Amino acid sequence: MADRPTAFTETRAFATQATLIARHAFRPEPPAAGQNVVVLVHGFLAAAPVFDPLRARIAQDLGWATLAFGYPSYGDFHATAQRLADTLAENVPEGSAVTLLGHSLGGLLARWYVEELGGAPRVSRLVTVCTPHLGTSAARLAPFGLAGAIRPDSDITRHLASTRDPAGPSLHALAGARDTTVRPTSALGCEADTKHVVAGVGHNGILYAPHAQDHIVRAIAGGERRASGSTDGGSATGSLAS
């Protein structure tokens, strides 16, 4: 059961997401040829505008272009991953340095594109945020559409656990210390180059808390610490993973 601070911050994060989706106010210029591009993939039951504050932060801190991929949660996993591939092919110029960032289910879609749909040559870096690499029991509360892909026994998570190409893009996994939707053991349950538990945030709040955005931007830019399983305090978390 979530503690009161977590329940409050997650409720506030949901309210933020609802407002962002309704407004959809962030409309940056499309990526230009040769520009660094971050492609963001949202999670189950979310939408592309939930990334608007993070996209603004990326533009401010890094000066990189961003592209947010949106999809309906009632669809098929493989078809949605193919749509992601098509979106990159149509909207990201060849020669651009691409970083893929997936929140929750979005991280699995991003990994599938890289590892199964030929995306590895286009992507230099892959960042997953609260992604259920080992699945999540919370998926059983939504027995429809893409929720099946994030169950602990899903064919998708089992397949991805055995297919990472060491020669592919670097993989960097972030977890929220207070995430009760995707526990840190699942969010860090992959063969990542770096793993980090962000203190004081839950599953959705991790996208909006300033200190969490600091960690995300560093992971995107390549400044995340190399110590596997580290926390904000620098202590090891051991073998950990919406």
CATH architecture of the domain with range 36-42+52-231: 3-Layer(aba) Sandwich (3.40)
Say if residue 187's pLDDT is above 60. yes
Residue whose structure tokens are 């610490």: 225
Say if residue 165's pLDDT is above 90. no
More confident of the two residues 144 and 81: 81
Using a 10 angstrom Cβ sphere, with 0-12 exposed, 13-18 middle and 19 or more buried, the burial of residue 135 is buried
Q: Which two tokens stand for residue 106?
A: 């979005």
Residue whose structure tokens are 């999809």: 71
Is the CB of residue 217 less than 8 Å from the CB of residue 166? no
- Give all strands of the β-sheet with 98-103 in edge-to-edge order: 65-69, 37-41, 98-103, 123-129, 170-176, 194-198, 230-231
Q: Which two tokens stand for residue 4?
A: 């009161």
Q: pTM of the prediction? A: 0.87
Say if residue 224's pLDDT is above 50. no
Predicted local distance difference test score (pLDDT) of residue 228: 37
Predicted local distance difference test score (pLDDT) of residue 5: 56
Predicted local distance difference test score (pLDDT) of residue 164: 81
Is the CB of residue 54 less than 8 Å from the CB of residue 20? no
| Among the ranges given (23-32, 201-210, 212-221), the one the predictor scored with the smallest mean pLDDT | 23-32
Say if residue 241's pLDDT is above 90. no
